[in-house]
Every structure is written in structure tokens, then in C-alpha cells.
């Protein structure tokens, strides 16, 4: 939780009219700046953020570093595009503004957005970088828009001059379908050198998320890692539970042949913990209840064995520290991932997956079971489960 | 080094290391691998291998607040003694009671004292300061302007401050008096 005073330098030159970043470079930039303000103030309530422009009528400080988010967001509204980027003057004014911050205990940081050609020489930028380093000011550079080598080279030289112990960063954002702010969310600029920014990033991503794009479970792990993890974990859980249930089903089937259909169906109707084969009913509501209880049981059972998250889930470990339930789920999923899946029929696994997913979707807030697409999926899964249950029982 | 000064009546000159308020100590333009405690802290500063080194250029700005008001008598600044590698500090400016100075405003006001160090000083000979200027020191800013050979990097082995304390109350030592009736 570093105490920091940040100054965001916006590039509002003519090049910002370009639409290669939707909706326009300038708007993408403003959005990213807003996100940064939110992230910084959330990291530490005493952090202050200021905003200034580097082009337009001239280098101007719009808001001196303050922790009042409203002021910052308001000042971004009336900004005009025009003129040329003056990077050197911009950074120097930013340094001066930070020098006069009210709380001298704050670390100084400048975040610069560069989206147009830099007219200064590399030497000038290096000198500025050294001055910043001497006064222990960290610098984050967001390079977007211009693909020419000249800009990249100059910015890399600037970063090399400023960088002290990896506290400064340079991020290149190529034009593409992803929004500028989304790409920035995963960079060290937001994650604060690997500290606690990822929680905010996850939340912001969920808020800003548009559609999913063909990911597992229909949820982008980058946009909403907690949701994706919960889905994946509970799927593993349900799979394990269904396998156990299928085993019991096989036993029950043997018993059923002796006792007859009636008793087993009456058993199926009741919703108890030790209830055996629900397969013949394929009732999603029942599955939901059982899934929760099953999840809990397995979680308790598995929670004693710790395991290490794989590379892909490194983000999760940070979030999981905050949320004990999530931590349990994480351990669980890893445990299941390393275990060999018992060799039951593929059908039952498929059943487990889809039925499970549907039950999860139903139990999750924000997912409307009445949604036609969800309903379609549910009915298709019911059909499949009935088919598979007849296989199991028969 | 004189243990008694003519003005001190009942106090002798001591090493002011114990009165440095470590929570407020700052150092600008130092190489993070070779930082300020190497030059000041007891034990670190005697070690030849541990030194304070500058980073982007040869200047260093050190800010030392004290836990109580002190009178500063002299300082010792030791630099590396290798022949042909005289990169210990040369011009040292001292400012008393100026908070949060930066490199841009070191030249804005006159220093309380300036010391030009000779190679003798770098071996450990103390520099006696203008005592009258340092009668009421709450914080000390040490600005190392250049070094002996004009190289890019300045190295400092040890900085020691000597003086006396003024009778001020250390707030941390204040204890509640139990009122037992």
C-alpha cells in the first residue's frame, strides 16, 4: 500500500482524433485515465492524483494532486483536442507540480500517455529522465497510436534513464479490438508492481466487460477471474460428486431391480443429503441444493491438502488471500486438476459438466434462469441427462 | 578531537547518532544498493565494504531529522582512500532546519556552513563547524555538491555528527504518572 502522489499527463494533440482505438484515441485515453484515478485512490485512501494536458493550448495542469475523484473526473470532460504534444515540457511541469504536493511523505509518480510523434531528441529525453531519477520520481509511459520506431526508441531511452529498481514502466498498446483501458488493467501500471491492485482490476474489468468471446463457460477469465474460477471449481466439484453419485446409482440399480421402480422414484423425490440417483429426475433445482452441499463436503474434505496454483492462476492467489472461500475453492480446483479422473462413462462426465454448469448458472447472481438462451441450454441438458440416466439405470 | 568545548558547561560532545530520527531520514540520488544507512548506522559505517554511493550524477542530498534539538559541533565525512580513485566528497554544504529540500532549491538560500573536504578529512579528521550557526538544530540537510576527482559517482564511507544536546523533553519518554490516592 504505497503512499503515492500521481500526476497523469494526457496527450490531447490532433493525433487523438484518430479512430483506431474505439471510439477515438482521445476517449480511450480518458477512460484509461479515469480507471487509473480510481485504482490509485482505492489502493490507499491517502493517495492523490492530478491531471494535466501536454498539448492543446499548452502544457496545463488541470487538477493539482487531490484525492477527490469527482474533481478529477469532472475536469476530463471539457477537454479539447488540438495542437502538438510537448513531452519534455509536460514531464517537467509534472515534476514541478509533484514537488509542491501537500503531503511530502508521498512517493512521486508521473503517468504519461503518448499517442503522437515526439519532436524532442533522445538526448533531451534522457536528461529529463535522469533528473527524474535524481529526484526519485517514478515514470510510467503508455505508448499507443504511433507505430513508428522513432517514438518507441525515444521512450525506451527515457525509461532506461528514469528506471530505478523497476519502479518505472513502459507499456506498448497496439491498436486492436481490445480497449486501451482493458489492456492497461493487466499491466504493472495498475497492478502496482504486483501488489494489491489486481482486486480492483478484476472488479473494474467486470464492470467494463462487454460480451464474452467464446471462452470456457462463456466468461472471460481476464474480465472476471473470480467468476471463471468459481465456475471451473464448481464444475470439478460437481464432476466428482456426480461420479460418486453414479457409483451409488449403479448400486441402487442393482437394488432397484430387486425392489422395483416405485421405491426408488419416491426416494428420488425427497431432497436429502444421502439421496442417491437423481439422474432419473434430472431436476436442476435439486442439483443446485445437492451441488452446494456436495461442494461444501468436498471442500471440507479437500481443504486439508494444500497445493500450488498453476501459472495461469497466479492472479487468483492474490485475490484468494482476501477471500477464504475463494482460497478453498482454489485449493480444491488444483487438487482436482492433479487427480486422475476416475474412469466412469463419458456420458456421466458430460452429464455432470453440463448439468453442473446449468445449476451453477442458476445459483449465480446476475444470471437470469429465465433467459431464453439459458433455458434452451437447460432443456437440452435435461434431455441429455434423461438419456444418460436411462443408460445408467438400465 | 576536543572533548570539551568552551561553551559546553556540563555536557561533553557526543556522537549524535543516537538522536537521529530514523523514520524521517531521506536521501536523494543515492544508488539503492548503496544507501544511506551504510554510511551512518553504527557498525555499517565502520565496514569498508558498505558505503553510500550516488546514482544519476555525483550529487547527494541527505536529510536527517533529530529526535530532539541539538547543537552541532563538528562532522566527520570519510571517503574511499584508494589512490587514483578519490571519489569521496569535496564540497559539502550543511543546512539546518530546512525541511524537504530538493536539488532545485539547494542554491536558493545560503547554507548554514560549507565544508571543503581535504584528503585528510576523508581519512577521518573531523571538520569543525561554525558552532554559532548550529545552536538550535532540529534537522540537518547535507548537500554533497561534488567529489574530489570530479567523477560521475561519489562514494561516502562514513558520516558522523558530533555535538551536544539541548535539554529538551523526549516526548516518547513521557510516562503517565499513576495517581494513587
Q: How many CB pairs (< 8 A) connect A and B?
A: 26
How many Å apart are CA B77 and CA B122, to the nearest integer?
Answer: 6
Does residue A23 belong to any structural domain of this protein? yes
| Banded model confidence at residue A298, pLDDT cuts 50, 70, 90 | low
Q: Do A134 and B100 touch (CB under 8 A)?
A: no
Does residue A146 belong to any structural domain of this protein? yes
Q: Long-range CB contacts (< 8 A, 24+ apart) of A285-291?
A: A285/A362, A287/A238, A287/A355, A287/A356, A287/A358, A287/A359, A288/A359, A288/A362, A288/A363, A290/A241, A291/A234, A291/A237, A291/A238, A291/A241, A291/A356, A291/A359, A291/A360, A291/A363
> What residues 78-137 of chain B have any CB closer than 8 A to a CB of chain A?
99-100, 102-104
Q: Do B55 and A164 touch (CB under 8 A)?
A: yes
Q: Which uninterrupted H or E stretch holds B137?
A: strand B137-144
Q: Which uninterrupted H or E stretch holds B96?
A: strand B91-96
Write out pLDDT tens, residues A340-362: 444 444 555 555 565 666 677 66
Find the residue in B nearest to A164 (Cα). B32
How many Å apart are CA B47 and CA B40, to the nearest integer?
Answer: 11
Q: Quick one: which of A167, A168, A164 has its CA closest to A155?
A: A168
- A309 secondary structure, DSSP code: P
Predicted local distance difference test score (pLDDT) of residue A113 = 93
Question: Between B28, B99, B100, which is nearest A136 by CB?
Answer: B28
- Name which of A101, A133, A136, A166 to mutate to probe chain B: the one with the most chain B Cβ atoms within 10 A of its Cβ: A136
Over residues A34-46, mean pLDDT: 90
How many Å apart are CA A238 and CA A335, to the nearest integer?
Answer: 14
Does residue A113 belong to any structural domain of this protein? yes
With a CB cutoff of 8 Å and minimum separation 6, the contacts of A110 are: A6, A7, A9, A91, A94, A95, A98, A132, A137, A138, A139, A140
| Banded model confidence at residue A157, pLDDT cuts 50, 70, 90 | very high
CATH (domain of A64): 3.40.50.410
Domain count, chain A: 1
How many Å apart are CA A316 and CA A332, to the nearest integer?
Answer: 13
Q: Do B56 and A104 touch (CB under 8 A)?
A: no
Q: Quick one: which of A208, A172, A211, A221 has its CA closest to A35?
A: A208
Burial class of residue A154 in the structure, from the number of CB atoms within 10 Å of its CB (0-12 exposed, 13-18 middle, 19+ buried) = buried
Does residue A220 belong to any structural domain of this protein? no
CB A158 within 8 A of CB A141: yes
Over residues B84-101, mean pLDDT: 85
Does residue A36 belong to any structural domain of this protein? yes
How many Å apart are CA B151 and CA B140, to the nearest integer?
Answer: 26
Q: What are A139's three cell numbers?
A: 515514470
In chain A, the DSSP E strands lie at: 4-10, 48-53, 60-66, 107-114, 137-144, 169-173
How many Å apart are CA A69 and CA A63, to the nearest integer?
Answer: 11
> What residues 159-188 of chain A have any CB closer than 8 A to a CB of chain B?
164-165
Write out pLDDT tens, residues B3-26: 444 444 446 788 888 889 988 898
Q: Model's pTM, two decimal places?
A: 0.62
Task: Provide, as residue numbers in chain B, all residues whose Cβ is less than 8 Å from the Cβ of A99.
Answer: 102, 104
**Nearest chain B CA: its distance from A127 CA (Å):** 10
Predicted local distance difference test score (pLDDT) of residue A291 = 56
Write out pLDDT tens, residues A80-123: 899 999 999 999 999 999 999 998 889 999 999 999 999 999 99
**Nearest chain B CA: its distance from A155 CA (Å):** 18
Task: Provide, as residue numbers in chain B, all residues whose Cβ is less than 8 Å from the Cβ of A135.
Answer: 28-29, 102-103
Does residue A139 belong to any structural domain of this protein? yes
Does residue A74 belong to any structural domain of this protein? yes
Over residues A13-19, mean pLDDT: 90
**Nearest chain A CA: its distance from B98 CA (Å):** 13
With a CB cutoff of 8 Å and minimum separation 6, the contacts of A60 are: A52, A53
Write out pLDDT tens, residues A256-294: 666 654 554 444 444 444 444 444 444 444 444 555 666
What is the domain extent for residue A97? 4-192
Q: Do A134 and B103 touch (CB under 8 A)?
A: yes
CB A16 within 8 A of CB A60: no
**Nearest chain B CA: its distance from A112 CA (Å):** 22
Does residue A153 belong to any structural domain of this protein? yes
Task: Provide, as residue numbers in chain A, all residues whose Cβ is less than 8 Å from the Cβ of B143.
Answer: none
| Pure H helices in A69-171 | 69-75, 87-99, 122-134, 149-162
Burial class of residue A257 in the structure, from the number of CB atoms within 10 Å of its CB (0-12 exposed, 13-18 middle, 19+ buried) = exposed
**Nearest chain A CA: its distance from B29 CA (Å):** 4
Find the residue in B nearest to A167 (Cα). B32
Backbone φ and ψ of A300, nearest 5°: -65, -40
Cis previous bond, B35, omega within 30: no
A134 inside 8 A of chain B by CB: yes
Q: What are B38's three cell numbers?
A: 551504510
Predicted local distance difference test score (pLDDT) of residue A252 = 81
Per-residue CA distances from A276 to A189, A237, A272, A348, B142 (Å): 52, 17, 9, 15, 80
> What residues 92-111 of chain A have any CB closer than 8 A to a CB of chain B?
99, 104
Question: Between B32, B56, B99, which is nearest A130 by CB?
Answer: B56
**Nearest chain A CA: its distance from B56 CA (Å):** 6
* Mean pLDDT over each residue of chain A, to the nearest integer: 74
CB B52 within 8 A of CB B78: no
Q: Which uninterrupted H or E stretch holds A349?
A: helix A346-363
How many Å apart are CA B63 and CA A334, to the nearest integer?
Answer: 51
Write out pLDDT tens, residues B136-149: 999 999 999 988 88
Amino acid at each position: 500500500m504505497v503512499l503515492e502522489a500521481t500526476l497523469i499527463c494526457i496527450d490531447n494533440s490532433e493525433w487523438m482524433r484518430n479512430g483506431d482505438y474505439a471510439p477515438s484515441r482521445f476517449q480511450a485515453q480518458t477512460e484509461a485515465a479515469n480507471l487509473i484515478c480510481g485504482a490509485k485512490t482505492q489502493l490507499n485512501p491517502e493517495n492523490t492524483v492530478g491531471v494535466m494536458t501536454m498539448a492543446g493550448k499548452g502544457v496545463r495542469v488541470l487538477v493539482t494532486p487531490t484525492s477527490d475523484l469527482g474533481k478529477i473526473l469532472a475536469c476530463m470532460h471539457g477537454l479539447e483536442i488540438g495542437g502538438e504534444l510537448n513531452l519534455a515540457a509536460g514531464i517537467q511541469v509534472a515534476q514541478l507540480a509533484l514537488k509542491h504536493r501537500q503531503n511530502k511523505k508521498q512517493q512521486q509518480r508521473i503517468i504519461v500517455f503518448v499517442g503522437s510523434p515526439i519532436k524532442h531528441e533522445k538526448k533531451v529525453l534522457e536528461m529529463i529522465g535522469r533528473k527524474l531519477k535524481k529526484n526519485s520520481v517514478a515514470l510510467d509511459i503508455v505508448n499507443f497510436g504511433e507505430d513508428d520506431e522513432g517514438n518507441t526508441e525515444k521512450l525506451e531511452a527515457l525509461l532506461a534513464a528514469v528506471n530505478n529498481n523497476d519502479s518505472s514502466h513502459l507499456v506498448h498498446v497496439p491498436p486492436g479490438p481490445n480497449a486501451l483501458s482493458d489492456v492497461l488493467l493487466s499491466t504493472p501500471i495498475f497492478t502496482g508492481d504486483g501488489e494489491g491492485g489486481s482486486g480492483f482490476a478484476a472488479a473494474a474489468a467486470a464492470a467494463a466487460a462487454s460480451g464474452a468471446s467464446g471462452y470456457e463457460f462463456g466468461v472471460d477469465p481476464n474480465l472476471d477471474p473470480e467468476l471463471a474460477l468459481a465456475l471451473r471449481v464448481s464444475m470439478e466439484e460437481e464432476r466428482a460428486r456426480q461420479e460418486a453419485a453414479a457409483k451409488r446409482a449403479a448400486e441402487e440399480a442393482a437394488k432397484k431391480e430387486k425392489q422395483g421402480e416405485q421405491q426408488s422414484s419416491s426416494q428420488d423425490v425427497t431432497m436429502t443429503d444421502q439421496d442417491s440417483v437423481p439422474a432419473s429426475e434430472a431436476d436442476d433445482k435439486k442439483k443446485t441444493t445437492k451441488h452446494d452441499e456436495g461442494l461444501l463436503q468436498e471442500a471440507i474434505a479437500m481443504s486439508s491438502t494444500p497445493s500450488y496454483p498453476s501459472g495461469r492462476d497466479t492472479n487468483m492467489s492474490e485475490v484468494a488471500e482476501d477471500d477464504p472461500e475463494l482460497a478453498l475453492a482454489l485449493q480444491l480446483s488444483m487438487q482436482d486438476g492433479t487427480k486422475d479422473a476416475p474412469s466412469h462413462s463419458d456420458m456421466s462426465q458430460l452429464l455432470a459438466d453440463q448439468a453442473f454448469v446449468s445449476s451453477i448458472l442458476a445459483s449465480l447472481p446476475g444470471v437470469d434462469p429465465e433467459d431464453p438462451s439459458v433455458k434452451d441450454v437447460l432443456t437440452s441438458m435435461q434431455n441429455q441427462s434423461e438419456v444418460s440416466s436411462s443408460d445408467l439405470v438400465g | 578531537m576536543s572533548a570539551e568545548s568552551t561553551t559546553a558547561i556540563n555536557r561533553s560532545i557526543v556522537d549524535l547518532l543516537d538522536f537521529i530520527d530514523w523514520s524521517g531520514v531521506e536521501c536523494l540520488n543515492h544508488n539503492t544498493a548503496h544507501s544511506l544507512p551504510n554510511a551512518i548506522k553504527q557498525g555499517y559505517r565502520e565496514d569498508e565494504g558498505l558505503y553510500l554511493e550516488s546514482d544519476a550524477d555525483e550529487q547527494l542530498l541527505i536529510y536527517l531529522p533529530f529526535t530532539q534539538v541539538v547543537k552541532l559541533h563538528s562532522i566527520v565525512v570519510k571517503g574511499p582512500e584508494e589512490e587514483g580513485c578519490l571519489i569521496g566528497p569535496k564540497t559539502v554544504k550543511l543546512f539546518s532546519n530546512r525541511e524537504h529540500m530538493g536539488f532545485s532549491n539547494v542554491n536558493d538560500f545560503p547554507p548554514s556552513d560549507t565544508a571543503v573536504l581535504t584528503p585528510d578529512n576523508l581519512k577521518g579528521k573531523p571538520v569543525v563547524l561554525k558552532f554559532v550557526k548550529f545552536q538550535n538544530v532540529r534537522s540537518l540537510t547535507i548537500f554533497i555538491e561534488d567529489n574530489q576527482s570530479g567523477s560521475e559517482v561519489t562514494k561516502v564511507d562514513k558520516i558522523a555528527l558530533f555535538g551536544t544536546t539541548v535539554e529538551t523533553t523526549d516526548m516518547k519518554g513521557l510516562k503517565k504518572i499513576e495517581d494513587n490516592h
